[in-house]
Amino acid sequence: MSADTRIIDGKAFAEGLRTRIAAVAADFEAKAGRKAGLAVVLVGEDPASQVYVRNKGKQTVAAGMESFEHKLPADASEADLLAVVEQLNADPAVDGILVQLPLPAHMNEQKVIATINPDKDVDGFHVVNVGRLATGLPGFVPCTPLGCVMLLKDRLGSLSGLDAVVIGRSNIVGKPMAQLLIAESCTVTVAHSRTKDLADVVRRADIVVAAVGRPEMVKGDWIKPGATVIDVGINRVPRTDQGAEEGKTRLVGDVDFASAAEVAGAITPVPGGVGPMTIAVLLRNTIVAAHRSAGLALDESAL
């Protein structure tokens, strides 16, 4: 196999998904007499969060859906935020609600997430949706891990019986990723910062999902030849290449791409791998929520 075909092009896959979603969104509008709506709530002025929220808004509109943005100052009270969430819960034009994380330290994230109506929780963070995922009931699944599974199934077909290692145990990626892989009949190991002999654990895996937030931690000689590597990390590091201007940075994943790409059967790059999938899956979850709330049928597996 040439080096190019090993690279999983998440950007192209996400574009295709957004095109399918736009067709479904147009059909929804024709049937329901309104556009599907996604509300995003941003508290404070974290620059990375502002970029995410702007991109979400643009892509929501481009897919033919309504985008609602609510911005609160960093010193807003938790009660102010909960009032916004309650208002969105009650608004029939809003199918999906996303409260951008992280929240300022004086707010209780779990309490805020628990206030979102689980049937509008397109992030899949509410405990009701976490429980639905764990028990195999229909609900909403966190966007980044669902995007990873879509890329894996697109590349490998059935995942049944494969050995998967998930590095990282966060609520947003590691834990839901493990649940999704169990549902696909993988044998799943969840590794984390206290795991002994991590390299040996990773070497047994047919599928490696790295979501630890440590730049280039997973090395090529940890990868079983032919394994599929999904890199969820987005780390900004100083450029060290010759001729780079001082202060310039570059994005790297949690996987040392150059060495891992030599061994892997398939691998996601950073940028252009998992990253573009997150917003595309958010739009998918929103159009699914809209159909469910309007009582309209939708073949969710075709999205």
**Which positions are catalytic?**
56, 100, 123
Q: In what order do the strands lie in the sheet with 163-167?
A: 187-191, 163-167, 207-210, 228-231, 266-267
User: What is 2-48 written as a DSSP string?
Assistant: -HHHHB--HHHHHHHHHHHHHHHHHHHHHHHSS--EEEEEEES--HH
Residue 44 CB, nearest distance to ligand GUN (Å)? 12
72 sits near ligand GUN (criterion: CB under 6 A):
no
Please select the residue that binds ligand GUN; options are 59, 60, 67, 100, rule is CB under 6 A.
100
- Of the candidates 91, 135, 133, 144, the one whose C-alpha atom is nearest the C-alpha of residue 116 is 91
Please select the residue that binds ligand GUN; options are 76, 99, 167, 218, rule is CB under 6 A.
99
Residue 78 near residue 112 (C-beta atoms within 8 A): yes
DSSP secondary-structure letter at 218? B
101 sits near ligand GUN (criterion: CB under 6 A):
yes
Which tokens belong to 23? 């067709």
Residue 242 near residue 220 (C-beta atoms within 8 A): no
Site for ligand GUN in 278-297 (CB under 6 A): 278
The region of 93-101, 210-218, 242-250, 262-270 touching ligand GUN under the rule CB under 6 A is: 93-101
Site for ligand GUN in 107-166 (CB under 6 A): 123, 143
82 sits near ligand GUN (criterion: CB under 6 A):
no
Residue 66 CB, nearest distance to ligand GUN (Å)? 19
- Of the candidates 191, 174, 274, 193, the one whose C-alpha atom is nearest the C-alpha of residue 229 is 274
Residue 144 CB, nearest distance to ligand GUN (Å)? 6
The region of 11-19, 99-107, 209-217, 255-263 touching ligand GUN under the rule CB under 6 A is: 99-107
Binding site for ligand GUN (CB under 6 A): 98-101, 123, 143, 278
